[in-house]
Amino acid sequence: MSMRKVYRKVARKYGVTVEEVKREMQSAIDETYNSPNHNDITKAHQDKVQRNGEVPTVDEFIRYAANKAKKK
């Protein structure tokens, strides 16, 4: 299933727009990566996510999570 379909399905389920889904997901990722309460284990896991910037985009994070799930 394409990411576009996933976003639409989630948006439809919760009665919001696709943009709201992406914005909320990015907000959660941003909050996690910018938290001052990181320990070494959390930082090590975050560093495994390939990204272009300091914080991964929603698509970068989902790509990482999907690949991780496939390996299990």
pLDDT tens for the 72 residues of the chain, in order = 788 999 999 999 999 999 999 999 999 999 999 998 888 898 899 999 999 999 999 999 999 999 989 887
User: What secondary structure letter does DSSP report for 54?
Assistant: S
pTM of the model: 0.83
pLDDT number for residue 37 = 85
Q: Which two tokens stand for residue 9?
A: 């399905």
Give which of 60, 53, 62 is closest to 34, Cα–Cα.
53
